[in-house]
Amino acid sequence: MKHNFLLCGSVGLCLEVFWTGLHSLIRGEATMTGQTSLLMFPIYGCAALIKPVYQKISSLPAVLRGCIYTAGIYFAEFFSGSVLKHFGICPWDYSETPLQIKGIIRLDYAPLWFLTGLLFEKILTKSS
C-alpha cells in the first residue's frame, strides 16, 4: 500500500503540473508554467484507495466504476479542501468559477475526475 500511495502522490503531482501548464498555454503564456503544492502529495496519494475499491467493483462496467471514482474524488477533494481551508492553507480556490461549491470543488471537473479515476485504476492494477 505504501508503494501505491507514493506512486499515486507522484502521478497526481505530475498531472497537476501538466494541467496547470496547459491552462497557462490557453491563457496565452508561452512559458506554459505549471504549478502545484506539496500539500497535494498526500491528497493524491489517497488515490491508492482506488485499488481495493477496484478489487470489489471490477465486474462493473467502466462507466459505473468511473462514476464511483468521481464521487470518491469529489468527497476527498471536498473533505481535504475543507480541512485545509479551515487552517488557511488550501492551495486552490474555485470561488470565482461557475459550478463551484464553497470554492472547494468544481462540478465541471467531473469528466476530468472520471478519466483520472480510471487512469489511476489502470496504473494501480498494472503496478502490482
Mean pLDDT computed over 110-126: 94
Residue 128, pLDDT score: 58
Alpha carbons 33 and 22: distance in angstroms, whole number: 8
Q: Name the residue with higher pLDDT: 86 or 1.
A: 86
* C-alpha cell recorded at residue 86: 479551515
- Looking at this protein, which amino acid is placed at residue 71? A
- Fill in the DSSP letter of residue 28: T
Does residue 63 have a pLDDT over 90? yes
- Beta carbons within 8 Å of 85's beta carbon, 6+ residues apart: 103, 104
Q: Return the DSSP state at 49.
A: G
Q: pLDDT tens for residues 6-55?
A: 999 999 999 999 999 999 999 999 999 999 999 999 999 999 999 999 99
Question: Where exactly are the structural domains of the chain?
Answer: 2-126
- pLDDT mean over 86-114: 97
Res 126: pLDDT:
86
Tell me the CA distances in angstroms from 29 to 7, 34, 84, one per residue in order. 30, 11, 29
Which amino acid is residue 109, in one-letter code? Y
Mean pLDDT of 108-114: 97
